[in-house]
């Protein structure tokens, strides 16, 4: 049973970390269906690090350019402003996570809340997606964002801490409301999400180190398997999202979310 759980956890983390379908909805539904035990902090940390590696490798060129631009205002003023905007836009999610994370975890992970939130935000995603431009205007589209616009998208990312929302979905929707094209909004969601995923992975890793006596329910082989599956499925999920959003927008994910939310509400 632990082998099956490791495989499913890797798939769920890899796919739902990046696709706008809500990881919390799946992480509530799947353990109930399969009667899985809680996977523990160590597996959480492994899965987050796997998806972090996927996004770093996929966007290595853009991330390296932004990292260099942090310290090069003279030669790259527009990219410099965008890079620092992303740093600042990560703060709201960090503040909400540190101040409300435990409360959200204890009070808002009920199937009813998650199912209703899946459906509610699906309507918001549909509203943002309708009529949004599909032609990517290249890097100037992102470097043209004002600091205020980037910060507002960062505030939207903080809302994703509420189960059933989807970090990628709400940041794409916020980008669309800022008049980004669908491909640019999706790319920016990944770039903005990288520091947040890094912070989450480091936080969970520190929590594991701080509890060295915690019993592990998975072997090292099972954890390695989950890591590999989460990395591969995450990498493929990034490619899938960019391709789907460029062609048809968020509608397929909206339909899936509504079905998933309705299923959770009916069953639980």
DSSP label of 134: -
- Tell me the residue length of the chain: 268
Pick from 23-27, 97-101, 122-126: least confident: 23-27
How many domains, the chain?
1
Q: What is the pLDDT of residues 219-265, one digit of tens each?
A: 888 889 999 999 999 999 999 999 999 889 999 999 999 999 998 89
Q: What is the pLDDT of residues 142-179, one digit of tens each?
A: 888 888 899 999 999 999 989 899 999 999 999 999 99
Using CA atoms, how far residue 99 sits from 104, 209, 211, in Å, is 10, 22, 21
* Predicted TM-score of the model (pTM): 0.91
Using CA atoms, how far residue 102 sits from 9, 96, 221, in Å, is 22, 10, 30
Q: What is the pLDDT of residues 15-71, one digit of tens each?
A: 998 999 988 778 767 777 777 776 767 787 888 899 999 999 999 999 999 999 998
pLDDT score for 251: 94
Res 268 pLDDT > 80: no
Taking the C-alpha atoms of residue 5 and residue 24, their distance in angstroms, rounded to an integer, is: 16
Q: Which domain holds residue 206?
A: 2-267
Residue with more model confidence, 30 or 192: 192
Taking the C-alpha atoms of residue 170 and residue 36, their distance in angstroms, rounded to an integer, is: 29
């Amino acid at each position: 049973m632990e082998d099956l759980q490791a495989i499913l956890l890797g798939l769920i983390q890899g796919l739902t970390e990046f696709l706008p379908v809500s990881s919390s909805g799946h992480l509530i539904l799947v353990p109930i269906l399969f009667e899985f035990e809680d996977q523990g902090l160590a597996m959480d940390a492994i899965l987050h690090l796997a998806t972090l590696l996927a996004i770093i490798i996929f966007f290595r060129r853009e991330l390296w350019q932004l990292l260099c631009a942090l310290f090069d205002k003279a030669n790259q003023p527009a990219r410099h402003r965008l890079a620092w905007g992303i740093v600042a836009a990560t703060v709201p999610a960090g503040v909400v996570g540190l101040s409300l994370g435990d409360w959200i975890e204890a009070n808002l992970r009920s199937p009813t809340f998650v199912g209703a939130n899946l459906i509610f935000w699906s309507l918001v995603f549909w509203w943002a997606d309708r009529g949004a431009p599909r032609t990517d205007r290249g890097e100037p589209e992102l470097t043209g964002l004002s600091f205020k616009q980037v910060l507002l998208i960062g505030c939207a990312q903080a809302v994703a801490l509420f189960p059933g929302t989807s970090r990628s979905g709400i940041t794409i929707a916020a980008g669309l409301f800022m008049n980004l094209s669908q491909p640019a909004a999706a790319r920016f969601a990944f770039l903005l999400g990288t520091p947040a995923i890094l912070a989450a992975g480091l936080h969970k890793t520190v929590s594991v180190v701080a509890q060295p006596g915690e019993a592990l329910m998975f072997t090292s082989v099972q954890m390695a398997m989950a890591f590999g599956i989460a990395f591969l499925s995450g990498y493929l999920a990034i490619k899938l999202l960019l391709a789907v959003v460029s062609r048809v927008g968020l509608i397929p994910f909206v339909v899936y979310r509504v079905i998933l939310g309705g299923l959770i509400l009916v069953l639980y």
